[in-house]
Amino acid sequence: MRIQIDDKDFDLLLEYDQIKKRIRLIGIQLNLDFENRIPVFVGVLNGSFVFLADLIKEITIASEVTFVKVKSYNGDQSSGVISDEMDISMDLKDRDVIVVEDIVDTGKTLKYILEKIKAQKPASINVCSLLFKPNIIEEEIEELTYVGFEIPNDFVVGYGLDYNGLGRNFKDIYKAVALKK
């Protein structure tokens, strides 16, 4: 199925049913890995809010949720310049932190967030990202433990991900028909 957002065409990449199944499995893994601990899920806004909402419903162990907001994207290009929009309001010292991302592209945003969290001296940090573009990652991120889907180097929208602010509301994930150079 093809959709149009703003000036771009997108084709279906991942259906919600497929996404839900994968999230169920990640949830099972997290429940096992963090048994007898009380992890803090740190959602990276805006993109991760849909993923985090589905993921947290699969978590059966005691856990807390907080958010951080940074900005790094302009349209469909990673700007590389990251700015703080909302700081983490929780004390993460000695906590088991699970950073929840929608997508890891160049890895620059994640690296920036991880530095901020590490400064608070948590007990552990792991990253859970729904999507990962392994072909274009520029930063080595050893904390990236949980990945939903590895995808090719396409710009994607839907399920929380946007193009110029639009498309976050789509249930499925779509990829751009032609990558803008």
**Residues known to be catalytic:** 105
Q: Which of 10, 41, 68, 102 binds ligand IMP (CB under 6 A)?
A: 102
Toward ligand IMP, which CB reaches closer, 98 or 157? 157
Phi/psi for 23 (5° steps) reads -65, -35
Question: Contact at 8 Å (CB) between 153 and 136?
Answer: yes
- Start-to-end CA distance of the chain, whole Å, equals 24
Peptide bond into 46 cis (omega under 30): yes
Touching ligand IMP, residues 130-159 (CB under 6 A): 155-157
Structure tokens at 106: 């160049």
Question: Contact at 8 Å (CB) between 104 and 156?
Answer: no
Structure tokens at 36: 């007898």
Toward ligand IMP, which CB reaches closer, 104 or 147? 104
Cα 37 to Cα 35: distance, rounded to the nearest angstrom: 5
Toward ligand IMP, which CB reaches closer, 40 or 46? 46
Binding mask 54-73 for ligand IMP (x = CB under 6 A): ------------------xx
Residue 78 interacts with ligand IMP (CB under 6 A)?
yes
Which residues form the interface with ligand IMP (CB under 6 A)?
A: 44, 47, 72-73, 78, 101-110, 155-157, 161-162
